[in-house]
Structure 1
Amino acid sequence: MSSWFRRFRWPPDAQIAVKTAAAEEFGLTVTARSAAGDGYGTAAIALTPRLVHDHELTVRVSSASAAGRLISFKLTARCPTAPPVPNGPTLTTSAHNEVLCVKTGTSDPAPKDKNSNAVGLYHVTPGTLNGVLESARAAIAARSDRFQCGLTPNKLAAFMLSIGYREVQAEYAVRPDPSRSPMALSRRDVGRNGRLKNSDGTFAETVEQFHARWAGYETNRQMHLYSDDRREQGPPRAFFHPGVGLWQLDDAGDPDDGWVMLNHGQRANTGAGLNDSANDDSGGEVVASHLAERFCDDPGGVVAVGVFMKQWHACSPLKCIEVYNNIYLDGTDDLYVTTAHDAGRYSAAGGVSSNECRWSDARTATPIVCFVYDTQHPQGWTDSAIPATAARPPDTGGLGSSPYALPFVSFTHDEKRFAVFPDSILDSTEDAVDTTRYKAVPKTGNARKLAKTWSTGSYNGAVLEVRLCREPDWVVADGGSCGWVSVSDAQFASLMGRP
């Protein structure tokens, strides 16, 4: 699929804005400029469709010198009918995944479980599917042995997806649906043991007795994940999750693994990062490059990848390979997945959005890339949906679960990974008025072990500012409706789309 653009003529003072189902899918840009001589202006709209379907675009023109208008039209993206590589395979829409230009898979029989029952199609959001394939292509392209290795993007994507179905277990069950969200956050850093059990495995205490028994228990390292380093003191949902994303990339990993140094927004991204190349600035890139290395460098191939996957607890001993064998149709190099249940969910990071940030003082000469991690609007399933049962409902998302963080801002600066919880979001959901909380963790540090990394109100005397747009769903020419907003501003929550 190739880039596409369209030009229009407007009054010279017109404000141009474009709205799509997901600007992220296109890399959409809008440029407005005046034309010489005829009294009209021109607007150029450029985009590159990444998924195969009908794309609805709406263009809004507002001008002081002419009546405003809305123009809607469709762009239909289709797979090429001729081989993109001479003598290579003709690409069509997959019989299974429906949205990407991959080889058709029709000859492989449906996978079956150990009881010979057919396994259903694995649900995945279009954004996640596109993201893992993007990372897989980048990882393979970066290898000098890519033509000898025998690893295809679909095969590598199947390895990557299989981990997510085990690590992010829908309602504590491993099953092909619903689609897992790349925005998923770790929920087992509770700082407490489980409920007491009888010898036959039944519970010996109620949920209420369990929470009463551990109330105020602060002698373990998990307390540093809570704001103010105390579970019972600060806003409970200003919580720093050490495990992030489809692969639950965790602070406890080895820094050499690459993901430890990534912030929350980067770990959630299943795609190829901000510069679309394999330089390990996203969770997708790191996981894809590690799995490709194991498959290509070790003669064990699939078995070697399965052994490597054991570092994910949910994959041991070879559980993720079982899922991989269901997802990957070896005979046709196709993926046994469906996106039919997740129309419109095009974010490769599960709904995490990329923004620009800066400090209120002069310490940032240029803006910092940051991410708005809106946990209350995930694309795909997260276990935030598990009902609360604790004495403090905002504190836990279920039995023995850690808090589920409120929306926060994630970024890296000065060799530290930050999570910032704006006070207007805390105020709207907690019992009392709260002040913005900042947590700064060294890039290679484990947040569980680091005390005194929380700050209240500001960080080293400065307040974080985020460039937000008053119309977040529209891409506006020249950034006319965007501006810098302090996380301490009472309007911050509404400007980022929160109620």
Structure 2
Amino acid sequence: MTRQIPRPLLCLLITAATAAMTTLPAAPSPDAAAVGSAGVDHTFADTASPEESAEDLKLANAWVPADQELRFGAKPLEFAREAAAAEAADADCNISAQAATALLIAMTWPEVSPSGAAPSPMTLSRYDTQPTLADPQNRAPGLWFHPGIGMWQLDSAGLGTNFTAAEAMDTKGAANRLAPYVVHRYCTAINRGDTRKEARAYAWTAWVACRQGACENTFQRALNGVTPVDGIGRYGGAKPRRCWYQGAAHDCFYVDPANAQGASWWAAPGGGRSPVAAPFYVIRLDGSATVELRYWLAADSGASTDVQARRPFGANARTGLTWARGPGLCDLTAQRGAC
């Protein structure tokens, strides 16, 4: 029996397919990003002209060189395989678990790691330069709200609109969300008469880096095997914590780009056109409306005060942020902040 995607999720997925899911983290040129023995990119310099658009950069740098093997974090690969196999088993078209896995991960290299290095679950978009993403009071250069997060670049303008940054970095949760999305779109195309190649392109429509065939290339290569890389965890270096905020304890995550696991070219100061955020905390605030909170301690950002930014679920960060002085946050796990 075919397992149905829950109607609210299916509606969101179909709607989001026409939105800008991927936020153009603007991966480096493969020639400029050498791959180390652990499959981690070295830093690189952005040499693109100011006139070159983020989409142009994405498409120009999407192709993984033929002489580079495809690497992927061992733990994230385990989650991707589990999610893909579950969807393949109940799909309403014929697709193997192996093909569903390749379909699910093929876009990650063109999107965030075209050197072939293991994509980082922590990846922060670096080519969104809208002024509204910065602290309007300019209290510190690292007070920057990256709208696209993770190896799949879940963006607040699309599929990531109801995810916090921490949830988008969670490779298990992201794989469980995206597997039904890509398999459903693939089967929709197959069942209307598309070829398998056409159906794969339809499944990847939301990813800019896939528009000229780079993801078909990585798909075919992934079918022949991916090299697992140890040392890349479920959250890619983000740390689960407990935080005290406004009179209550919350699950929270501490995100420090310096601790990124996997391809970390984007964490370098020259790794993109936008600033890179100073270390920040992420909390999901549930209530009458769900809100993503990103919180910077003064000790982390260098500002004279704590600073916070709030984004309601469903809002695009480019137009929907509210910045304010932070009321105080205590990291109960690490005993830092206003404890």
**TM exceeding 0.5:** yes
> What CA distance in whole angstroms lies between the structure 2 residues aligned with 1:465 and 1:134?
36
| Structure 2 partner of 1:130 | 78
> What CA distance in whole angstroms lies between the structure 1 residues aligned with 2:264 and 2:181?
25
- 467 and 154 in structure 1: CA distance in 2 versus 1, 3 angstrom threshold: farther
Q: Please give the residue correspondences for 1:24-103 in structure 2 after superposition, counting only pairs within 5 Å.
A: none
> What CA distance in whole angstroms lies between the structure 2 residues aligned with 1:283 and 1:289?
11
Tell whether the 8 Å contact from 1:130 to 1:348 is kept in structure 2 after alignment: no
When you count strand as a share of all residues, which structure comes out higher?
A: 1
> What CA distance in whole angstroms lies between the structure 2 residues aligned with 1:153 and 1:358?
42
Measured after TM superposition, the shift of residue 127 of structure 1 is: 2.4
Tell whether the 8 Å contact from 1:360 to 1:465 is kept in structure 2 after alignment: no
| Structure 2: gaps (5+ residues) | 1-64
Measured after TM superposition, the shift of residue 326 of structure 1 is: 1.2
Question: Does 2:282 align with 1:410?
Answer: yes
Find the partner of 1:296 among 157, 164, 187: 187
Measured after TM superposition, the shift of residue 443 of structure 1 is: 0.6
- 359 and 118 in structure 1: CA distance in 2 versus 1, 3 angstrom threshold: closer
Find the partner of 1:437 among 304, 307, 315: 307
> What CA distance in whole angstroms lies between the structure 2 residues aligned with 1:135 and 1:410?
25
Q: Please give the residue correspondences for 1:49-448 in structure 2 after superposition, counting only pairs within 5 Å.
A: 119-140=67-88, 145-146=90-91, 149-169=93-113, 174-176=114-116, 178-190=117-129, 222-227=130-135, 229-230=136-137, 233-253=138-158, 257=159, 259-271=160-172, 282-299=173-190, 300=194, 301-329=196-224, 336-339=225-228, 342-345=229-232, 347-361=233-247, 364=248, 367-384=249-266, 386=268, 388=269, 397-398=270-271, 401-413=273-285, 414=287, 415-427=290-302, 433-448=303-318
Tell whether the 8 Å contact from 1:356 to 1:467 is kept in structure 2 after alignment: yes
> What CA distance in whole angstroms lies between the structure 1 residues aligned with 2:127 and 2:177?
23
Measured after TM superposition, the shift of residue 373 of structure 1 is: 1.5
- Aligned AA (1:125): G
Report how many aligned residue pairs link the two structures. Answer: 268
- 151 and 441 in structure 1: CA distance in 2 versus 1, 3 angstrom threshold: same
Measured after TM superposition, the shift of residue 296 of structure 1 is: 3.0
> What CA distance in whole angstroms lies between the structure 1 residues aligned with 2:337 and 2:83?
32
Tell whether the 8 Å contact from 2:122 to 2:261 is kept in structure 1 after alignment: yes
- Aligned AA (1:129): L
Higher relative contact order (CA 8 A, sep 6+): 2
Tell whether the 8 Å contact from 1:352 to 1:373 is kept in structure 2 after alignment: yes
- 155 and 295 in structure 1: CA distance in 2 versus 1, 3 angstrom threshold: same
When you count helix as a share of all residues, which structure comes out higher?
A: 2
Find the partner of 2:320 among 450, 462, 469: 450
> What CA distance in whole angstroms lies between the structure 2 residues aligned with 1:385 and 1:356?
25
Deviations 1:112-132 (A, max 9, x none): xxxxx9644211121221232
Measured after TM superposition, the shift of residue 372 of structure 1 is: 1.7
Tell whether the 8 Å contact from 2:133 to 2:146 is kept in structure 1 after alignment: yes
| Structure 2 partner of 1:204 | none
Measured after TM superposition, the shift of residue 380 of structure 1 is: 0.3
Percent of residue pairs identical: 26
> What CA distance in whole angstroms lies between the structure 2 residues aligned with 1:185 and 1:236?
16
Tell whether the 8 Å contact from 2:124 to 2:150 is kept in structure 1 after alignment: yes
> What CA distance in whole angstroms lies between the structure 1 residues aligned with 2:204 and 2:93?
19
Deviations 1:71-120 (A, max 9, x none): xxxxxxxxxxxxxxxxxxxxxxxxxxxxxxxxxxxxxxxxxxxxxx9644
Q: Larger radius of gyration, structure 1 or 2?
A: 1
> What CA distance in whole angstroms lies between the structure 2 residues aligned with 1:356 and 1:139?
33
Report the secondary structure of 1:287's partner residue. Answer: helix
Measured after TM superposition, the shift of residue 378 of structure 1 is: 0.8
- 120 and 383 in structure 1: CA distance in 2 versus 1, 3 angstrom threshold: closer
| Structure 2 partner of 1:94 | none
Tell whether the 8 Å contact from 1:307 to 1:317 is kept in structure 2 after alignment: no
Q: TM-score, normalised by structure 2?
A: 0.72
| Structure 1: gaps (5+ residues) | 1-116, 191-221, 272-281, 330-335, 389-396, 428-432, 470-484, 490-499
Tell whether the 8 Å contact from 1:269 to 1:283 is kept in structure 2 after alignment: yes
- Aligned AA (2:235): A
Q: TM-score, normalised by structure 1?
A: 0.50
Deviations 1:8-48 (A, max 9, x none): xxxxxxxxxxxxxxxxxxxxxxxxxxxxxxxxxxxxxxxxx
| Structure 2 partner of 1:468 | 333
